[in-house]
Amino acid sequence: MLSDKAKIQEWYEEDVPYGDLTSEILGIGQEKARILFRSRGEWVVSGTEIAGDVLEHAGILVESLIPSGQKGSPDLLILSARGPAASIHKAWRICLNLLEYSSGIATKASRLLDAARLVKPGICVNGTRKHLPGLRRFATEAAKAGGVLPHRLGLSESILVFDQHLVLIGGIKTLANRLVEFKSKVPGKNILVELKGGPSLEEEACLLARSGVDGLQFDKVRPEELTGLLKKLRLENPKMIFFVAGGINEDNIGQYAATGVDAIVTSAVYHATPADIGAQIIPLAGEF
């Protein structure tokens, strides 16, 4: 489960620290009600499971939900629940924010993936780890609902050498010379290196390919530069894998897919416009 009770309780305490003043003065807390969340457009649904957890945490019964990853149409009922009006009003905005933010990311992810695979079927699009602290699990799940898997989950499970590392060990040549030593420390892990565009790009990439590095990530390198370079590198080291990152969006992702890279890494998926989802609360007669 993506969410946990402690985290959900934090959300309630943030939004309803001292109770719902409006519901209290209106005296509607004990009324029976149903809440309906509907898509107002063509969105990839995401976040329904966690929204359901939020509702259940407040003692609200979830009646139905559309699983994350399904494409929604206008007026599609994606989540419904019933319970005391006081509880429903406390959960309403938390759930709506989760659904809109999550479905926006999932939809953006799906569009990016479709644009890339229109040019190169089967290519991977991966999300970066550029999130606000605390949002990674949620944002990653939303991207996955749209078909974009994470590139790296954190610093503990993968090795990607940046300029900021190289400057402390003596540069590219030192890394190439000591690569066997470094690989012996983590025999089950790939060692990837990020390279930026510039006059020394081809020289550095070929040096690393010959040294046996497992893969390269090209940052902010123009598509026309990559196509020929990748052909040379695969002759040097056929087992290498190649990523491209930096400035990727829906307008240019197809150009990068055409270069021959194995995967495209982007943070654009997290810059999505929230989905337009409506919430309706209606009175409910009879027993829950």
pTM recorded for the entire structure: 0.92
pLDDT at 131: 84
| Sign, Cα dihedral of 278, 279, 283, 288 | positive
Q: Determine the pLDDT at residue 174.
A: 97
Q: Which residue type is seen at 36?
A: L
pLDDT value at position 286? 64
What is the rounded CA–CA span in Å between residue 257 and residue 175?
Answer: 29
d(CA 201, CA 205): 6
Low-confidence ranges of the chain (pLDDT < 70): 1-3, 286-288
Query: Which residue carries 């005296």 as its tokens?
Result: 27
Q: What is the pLDDT of residue 1?
A: 42
Write down the domain spans for the chain: 5-111+273-283, 112-271
- Give me the CATH code for the 112-271 domain, please: 3.20.20.70
Q: Which CATH architecture does the domain made up of 5-111+273-283 adopt?
A: Alpha-Beta Complex (3.90)
Q: Considering only CA atoms, give the Rg of the chain.
A: 24
Of the candidates 109, 119, 99, the residue with the CA atom closest to the CA atom of residue 274: 99
Q: Cα–Cα distance between 93 and 271 in angstroms, integer?
A: 21
Q: How far apart are CA 67 and CA 79, in angstroms?
A: 9
* Ranges of H-type helices in the chain: 5-15, 21-26, 48-57, 85-119, 136-145, 163-169, 172-177, 179-185, 201-211, 223-236, 253-257
